[in-house]
């Protein structure tokens, strides 16, 4: 009788494992199909992005650009008609931090800089902003100086850095670079 109970238990265990395997097979197939759809969507977006970049490059070479393009109520982009527009991507965090400091009157806390960039559509956490500002304060000929814990100030002579909103194509002035 002990052997018969063991056979029943083993058969039940095998059935449960077979059911679980079928469930996992179905789940894997569903995930594979979703992955293929996502890959197709990604390929479509990348093709559209390449087309828009080509169109922007063509337009920037042939069409005049207004001197100033309004982006948000507080941030403006300087784009010069004699310069090409860059399609290189968003500006560096350091450039964004400098522009935010400038918009805030030249000095601000890390939190204020992050909030200013958030208003322009950029999503950075406080650590990323602090790191960018620390980098700017440590490099040769620093553009920013720390005035206290979490407090920063632009050094005099820091040149204007063009800034785009995260919701518009990247547009830079001088030489098409950030």
Tens-of-pLDDT digits for all 178 residues of the chain? 456 667 888 899 999 999 999 999 999 999 999 989 988 888 888 888 888 888 877 777 776 655 434 444 444 344 433 344 444 556 778 888 888 889 888 889 999 999 988 888 888 898 988 988 888 888 888 888 888 888 999 887 555 444 445 444 444 444 444 4
Domain residue ranges of the chain, discontinuous segments joined by +: 1-63, 68-176
The C-alpha atoms of residue 113 and residue 107 are separated, in whole angstroms, by 9
pLDDT at residue number 88: 54
> Are residues 81 and 64 in contact, defined by beta-carbon separation less than 8 angstroms?
yes
CATH class of 68-176: mainly alpha
Of 113, 116, 108, 101, residue with least CA distance to 148: 108
Instruction: Count CB-CB contacts under 10 A for residue 77.
Output: 21
Of 122, 84, 86, residue with least CA distance to 103: 122
Instruction: Report the chain's terminal Cα–Cα distance, integer Å.
Output: 82
The C-alpha atoms of residue 27 and residue 23 are separated, in whole angstroms, by 6
pLDDT at residue number 142: 82
pLDDT at residue number 52: 81
């Amino acid at each position: 009788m002990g052997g018969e109970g063991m056979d029943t238990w083993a058969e039940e265990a095998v059935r449960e494992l077979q059911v679980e395997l079928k469930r996992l097979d179905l789940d894997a197939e569903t995930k594979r199909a979703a992955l293929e759809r996502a890959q197709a969507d990604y390929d479509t977006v990348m093709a559209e992005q390449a087309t828009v970049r080509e169109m922007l490059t063509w337009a920037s070479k042939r069409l005049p650009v207004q001197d100033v393009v309004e982006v948000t109520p507080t941030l403006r982009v300087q784009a010069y008609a004699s310069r090409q527009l860059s399609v290189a991507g968003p500006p560096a965090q350091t450039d964004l931090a400098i522009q935010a400091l400038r918009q805030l009157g030249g000095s601000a806390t890390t939190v204020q800089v992050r909030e200013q960039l958030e208003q322009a559509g950029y999503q950075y956490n406080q650590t990323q902003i602090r790191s960018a500002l620390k980098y700017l304060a440590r490099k040769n000929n620093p553009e920013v100086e720390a005035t206290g814990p979490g407090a920063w100030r632009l050094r005099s002579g820091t040149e204007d850095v063009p800034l785009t909103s995260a919701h518009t194509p990247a547009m830079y002035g001088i030489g098409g670079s950030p």
